[in-house]
Amino acid sequence: MPIASLDRLLQHASDNKYAVGAFVSMNIEIIQAAIAAAERKNSPVVIRIHPDSRQITSFETLTSVAKQLAANASVPVGLSLDHGNTLADTVDAIRAGCTSVMLDAGEEPLEDNIRLVKQVVEVAKPLGILVEAAIGHMEHGAVQTDDDLASVEEAVRLVRESGATILAPAIGNVHGSAHGETKAKSNLAIDRIRELREATGVPICMHGGSGTPRDQMRAATKAGVALVILFSDIITAYNRELKRVLDENSIGIAIIDALVPAQHAAQGVIEEKMDDLGSAGQAGTFNEWLRASAG
């Protein structure tokens, strides 16, 4: 299948009260693991590209792999940019084929956040690209206080004045341990999620999905979360298996002998996440809905 529009994926997820998993992929193995897991679970999936990946490769390299795998897949595969810091990040991602991009200015004053996101919307909207904006305070690894949670009033302003089409709010979620932090347990503010979804009218994207108990995840999807960003649990499984194989073998081991089990370990965790999100089994209904809406 061709790369699926995030607009259609999130509409279907919202209508059917599940969330699509967006798996942060900084290498080919995680992309392969995510799409293989989606095939196994008959689930929609989003490959989430992070700007940090450009330290070793280009957006185009990673998205080319995703596009090729998607073309041979029976499930819908989306492409999205995670935590773009600048307009240039988002433009590069759009050129590489992402159908949604994030401009992360959530820690900036609201007026600056609106201005920065609006710049991206002006570029992306004519191309049919969704733009994700962040709001509220999400320190890596830390538990959020009530003061950290996204304000409904400010979220409405952000969406209305910037034109953002996806909202990534602080909702009791916890950003992961990508920088070495010990990740606290999430405590999702389900009522706040519902208020934000109803007041803004746009899909809610939950960051820091790793470690979220299934009951909280299901409650969040029913309240309005349609996209969940996942990294820590997947990369931990990948790294643990990679380290195990490397530690048990000589320094001259063929790296493929370590990458294969690491990829399989990541795939197993991703499959579990698709069950948590309620997206398992939804690829077929999405494809039928897409054909019906096109006809």
pLDDT at 183: 61
pTM of the model: 0.95
Backbone angles phi, psi at 228, to 5 degrees: -130, 125
Angstrom CA distances, 263 to 32, 57, 73, 125, 266, stand at: 8, 19, 18, 36, 5
Asked whether the beta carbons of 9 and 20 are under 8 A apart, the reply is yes
Position of tokens 């320094």? 251
Query: What is residue 295's predicted lDDT score, i.e. its pLDDT?
Result: 66
Domain range summary for the chain, segments of one domain joined by +: 6-294
Helix axes 256-277, 28-41, angle to 10 degrees: 40
Pairing of the two strands 20-24 and 45-49: parallel
Quick one: pLDDT at residue 89? 96
H helix or E strand, kind and range, residue 20: strand 20-24
The Cα–Cα gap between 226 and 209 comes to 12
**Burial of 115 (C-beta count, 10 Å sphere; 0-12/13-18/19+):** middle
The first and second tokens of residue 41, run together, are 């679970």
Kindly write down the DSSP assignment for every residue of 38-68, as one continuous string: HHHHT--EEEEE-GGGGGTS-HHHHHHHHHH
Fold assignment, 6-294: TIM Barrel (3.20.20)
Active-site pick, 7, 15, 82, 89: 82
Is 215 tagged catalytic?
no
Is the sign of the CA dihedral 34, 96, 283, 201 positive or negative? positive
Contacts of 61 (CB under 8 A, 6+ apart): none
| Token pair recorded at residue 136 | 């509220």
Q: What is the pLDDT along the chain (295 residues), one digit of tens a residue?
A: 899 999 999 999 999 999 999 999 999 999 999 999 999 999 999 999 999 999 999 999 999 999 999 999 999 999 999 999 999 999 999 999 999 999 999 999 999 999 999 999 999 999 999 999 999 977 765 666 777 899 999 999 999 999 999 999 999 998 765 555 566 777 899 999 999 999 999 999 999 999 999 999 999 999 999 999 999 999 999 999 999 999 999 999 999 999 999 999 999 999 999 999 999 999 999 999 998 987 6
DSSP, collapsed to helix, strand or coil, labels residue 74 as coil
CA–CA dist 23, 47 (Å, integer): 5
Query: Which pLDDT score is estimated for 174?
Result: 84
